[in-house]
Structure 1
Amino acid sequence: MTTKKTVRIAMNGVTGRMGYRQHLVRSILAIREQGGVDLGDGSVIWPEPVLVGRREHALREIARQHGLDPETDVTTDLDAVLADDSIDIYFDSQITLTREAAIKRAIAAGKHIYTEKPTATSLDGALALARLAKDAGVKHGVVQDKLFLPGLRKLKRLIDGGFFGRILSVRGEFGYWVFEGDWQPAQRPSWNYRSEDGGGIVVDMFPHWEYVLHELFGRVETVQALTATHVPQRWDEQGKPYQATADDAAYGIFQLEGGIVAQINSSWSVRVNRDELVEFQVDGTEGSAVAGLRNCRVQHRSATPKPVWNPDLPATEVFREQWQEVPDNGEFDNGFKAQWELFLRHVVLDEPYTWDLLAGARGVQLAELGLASSSDGRRLTVPELSL
């Protein structure tokens, strides 16, 4: 007979796109559908979500759609749910402006913390959360989902196996065209394009780039960035025009420990001419790789062709065909779900877990310095953080 170790989770922000699709449906509910997190000893971790938010009717509808109780598993009273001793974890996927205050309340209530990023609107705020959680003795984690993508897991396998030799550089391209909202609905909410509401591609994406670079290649030591608002007018969810006050594109150069140089372009104003919405090319002395969300291709030193520059003749080589696909060699689960399972094991079994609020603060720091670099027009040092 299976023993259930029940963990109750207050999930705040599940009416939003990310909170609903990736965290509730594809993570917590998917874990329940598979029978819980199997601990291998005849017991499982069984997550029980309590949906928290401001729109009660929307929360109740979500609960009804997914077999939850719209009476007992839904609340608009955050203080009440934090005062409930049966709640073990507080999860936050609200808009950034409201996150810091809510997490502070959850820490004060003694709840373990799992949160989307950025964790706060400033480095001081992000570090304060990490210190509060440490002092309170609660466990804490920050979503760093891209580390669990199949393409980046294959890339990590290549790095660990020494495929690249000495890594020289990383070049990343992320983005797609987000419709302005006038003649086609925008794929992202309008607050993303208002700095006064916590929007901007730097605060959204630089925290991602920090943990990807840090975990795969080494700590970011300097940043030089140029931001732009390429599309100055957009239309909101009600079809009303508004001025975009936040950056919708950022062009960054990051120097990493060991001398690796990373260049990453991030844009919501670019049309896609690549295989996936994000791709990273890594070049080393012994080989190169191009990794996306799911796929990864390599070209070893011994199989590198000899291109010759001749602008007077058309190219006769199909360069993409000269690369080799890296096999899966395993099954890759949804990245959000995989990290949720690790955090649940951390809470229940006290297993090691490194993606905490201090790691989240590094992401906020890089975004803050990226914006300052663009404003000042100079390269900035990224100090190492500690509590």
Structure 2
Amino acid sequence: MSRQSIGIIMNGVTGRMGYRQHLVRSLLAIREQGGVELPDGTVLWPEPLLVGRDPQRVRAIAERHGLDRWTTSLPEALAEPDTQVYFDAQLTHVREKAILAAIDSGKHVYTEKPTADSLDGALRLARAARDAGIVHGVVQDKLFLPGLLKLRRLIEGDFFGRILSVRIDFGYWVFEGDWQPAQRPSWNYRAEDGGGIVLDMFPHWRYVLEHLIAPVESIYSHAVTHIPSRWDEQGRQYDATADDSAFAILELAGGVTAQISSSWAVRVNREELVQVQVDGVRGSAVAGLRNCRVQDRSMTPRPIWNPDIPSPHRFLDQWAEVPDNIDFDNGFKAEWEMFLRHAYQGEQFPYDLVDGAKGVQLAQIALESGRTGQRLAVPALEV
């Protein structure tokens, strides 16, 4: 067994997602488990090089975790010959320029989504990566959630028969920031900084629907800013210029209808922050972050509408849990391991920058649908 180091430039590691999910719960967790083992016995050992704008914060993170490589200069990091992968978790509006620089430096690229703040920008990245012949991937963490892995198992096992519809319900109340601190960064609510729930979440819904159910063919959507004024991390009031809630009806290939509700201004009355319900002729399932419950056709109750008497049904008790069957890892970590294997072996990653561009495309068309009040086609993407 031989150990092969793989240098990873981590840009944006001082942010919440970059630090918690990608550094601590993914790369450092991979190091704690002894690396990523390949079929031939080779063990990949990630060596992070941290990049951030604030030297004190980057240095503090490096020292906290016993890492000795950090910088505030992206060109300096890209010039390091022993770094093979560039990872980006920066703000959306600065991502495209940095990824293009990484591609020009010959690095493999793995990035958070959305990959750019416009479809033109996302396509530029996909084309540049294709022309450079690098391995490129986009974080699609929802596909690696235990609940959605169980849902995939049901789909692949033909549990549903013909799928009829999908319903995605996502969101929670994000405090305005005055009397209680907000749980999300203030830039999320400024359109000029790449904020907005459509640009943030619709790329997720695109890959979930396309990789689990069917490609999206059209969308009718409505986006709104429910909370017009918020307070930032310094306690300063600011105008929220980006949408914080969006609602959409989508047509998928094969006649499947999907409805999506996404909001940072809704109070949760469900078991998890996100639920995906799939209804088919032979059965239905409701998947969350970790759990998945099913109701088979033979076990479907027979309710009758009668508002004059209390319902005799306890509907939530009539669903069965899908068993774990396997031990599920952190979704971000699982995809990191997958990407590192592909990057080291020079193999095309299935969730690449083309897939990332599709997510930006859906967000852009959804916003246009909201502005025009029209149902719009989602054409096949030509790269």
Provide TM-score, normalisation by structure 1: 0.98
Shift of 1:142: 0.3
Show the counterpart of 2:243: 247
Show the counterpart of 1:231: 227
Shift of 1:75: 0.4
AA aligned opposite 1:179: F
Shift of 1:353: 2.1
| Contact 2:144/2:331 (<8 A) preserved | yes
Shift of 1:80: 1.1
- How many residues of Structure 1 are paired with residues of Structure 2 in the alignment? 383
Structure 1 residue 80 and structure 2 residue 42: aligned?
Answer: no
Indicate the SS of the match to 2:90: coil
1:32-82 deviation digits (Å, cap 9, x = unpaired) = 00000011433200100000011111111111111111xxx1001111111
Show the counterpart of 2:127: 131
1:339-383 deviation digits (Å, cap 9, x = unpaired) = 000110001123452100000000000000000000000011001
> How far apart, CA to CA, are the structure 2 residues paired with 1:41 and 1:92?
30
AA aligned opposite 2:322: V
> How far apart, CA to CA, are the structure 1 residues paired with 2:76 and 2:367?
38
- The equivalent position to 1:218 in structure 2, one of 201, 214, 217, is 214
Gaps of 5+ in 2: none
> How far apart, CA to CA, are the structure 1 residues paired with 2:17 and 2:134?
25
Show the counterpart of 2:331: 335
> How far apart, CA to CA, are the structure 2 residues paired with 1:242 and 1:384?
39
Show the counterpart of 1:298: 294
Give 1:94-173 correspondences, 5 Å limit: 94-173=90-169
> How far apart, CA to CA, are the structure 1 residues paired with 2:290 and 2:242?
30
AA aligned opposite 1:46: W
AA aligned opposite 2:356: G
Show the counterpart of 1:16: 15
> How far apart, CA to CA, are the structure 2 residues paired with 1:65 and 1:53?
15
AA aligned opposite 1:234: R
> How far apart, CA to CA, are the structure 2 residues paired with 1:172 and 1:112?
33
| Contact 1:358/1:386 (<8 A) preserved | no
> How far apart, CA to CA, are the structure 1 residues paired with 2:378 and 2:124?
18
> How far apart, CA to CA, are the structure 2 residues paired with 1:32 and 1:288?
40
Show the counterpart of 1:29: 28
Show the counterpart of 2:185: 189
Indicate the SS of the match to 1:224: strand
Identity %: 66
> How far apart, CA to CA, are the structure 2 residues paired with 1:134 and 1:353?
12
> How far apart, CA to CA, are the structure 1 residues paired with 2:287 and 2:77?
42
1:288-322 deviation digits (Å, cap 9, x = unpaired) = 00000000000000000100110001112110000
| Contact 2:174/2:264 (<8 A) preserved | yes
1:233-263 deviation digits (Å, cap 9, x = unpaired) = 1111111111111000000111100010000
Shift of 1:279: 0.1
> How far apart, CA to CA, are the structure 2 residues paired with 1:260 and 1:143?
26
Show the counterpart of 1:60: 59
Gaps of 5+ in 1: none
Structure 1 residue 376 and structure 2 residue 375: aligned?
Answer: no
RMSD: 0.8
Indicate the SS of the match to 2:83: coil
Give 1:189-208 correspondences, 5 Å limit: 189-208=185-204
AA aligned opposite 1:233: S
Q: Which moved more, 1:40-49 or 1:188-197?
A: 40-49
AA aligned opposite 1:78: L
Shift of 1:386: 2.6
> How far apart, CA to CA, are the structure 2 residues paired with 1:137 and 1:386?
18
Structure 1 residue 284 and structure 2 residue 283: aligned?
Answer: no
Show the counterpart of 1:267: 263
| Contact 1:177/1:272 (<8 A) preserved | yes
AA aligned opposite 1:212: V
> How far apart, CA to CA, are the structure 2 residues paired with 1:350 and 1:89?
12
Show the counterpart of 1:91: 87
> How far apart, CA to CA, are the structure 2 residues paired with 1:31 and 1:188?
27
Indicate the SS of the match to 1:258: coil
> How far apart, CA to CA, are the structure 2 residues paired with 1:298 and 1:130?
38
- The equivalent position to 2:253 in structure 1, one of 248, 253, 257, is 257
Structure 1 stretches of 4+ moved >6 Å: none
AA aligned opposite 1:100: E
Indicate the SS of the match to 2:351: coil
